[in-house]
Amino acid sequence: MESVFPQDLFLYVKADSEEQQLLATQLAEDCEAALLSKGIPLNERTKPRFGLTVKAMTLHEMDHPGEELPRGIREKINDLKFNH
């Protein structure tokens, strides 16, 4: 993960156990890769918003696996995609 520090991610998603932390790490890596594959750059300018979006996506996937992303997260992705 390049966009978030593991400890920040674990606090955000409330991952207390090693199992939850491993899951959060794997999901965050997948979320980061998904954003990068959409052409969203990860650089010093986008890193704060990129990291927050990865954390929000990870939390959603942990709480609602397989469900569509909520509108607020989709708006964050669009903002990153078109305003970087």
Per-residue model confidence (pLDDT) at position 1: 87
Q: Which amino acid is at 64?
A: H
Spacing of C-alpha 63 from chain mean position:
13
**25 close to 58: Cβ distance less than 8 angstroms:** no
Per-residue model confidence (pLDDT) at position 84: 78
Q: pTM of the prediction?
A: 0.94
Smallest CA-to-CA distance from 59 within 17, 14, 18 is with 14
- Residue 1 and residue 35: Cα distance in Å, rounded? 12
Per-residue model confidence (pLDDT) at position 39: 95
Q: What are the mean pLDDT values of the chain's consecutive 10-residue runs (84 residues total)? A: 96 98 98 97 95 98 97 97 88
**24 close to 58: Cβ distance less than 8 angstroms:** yes
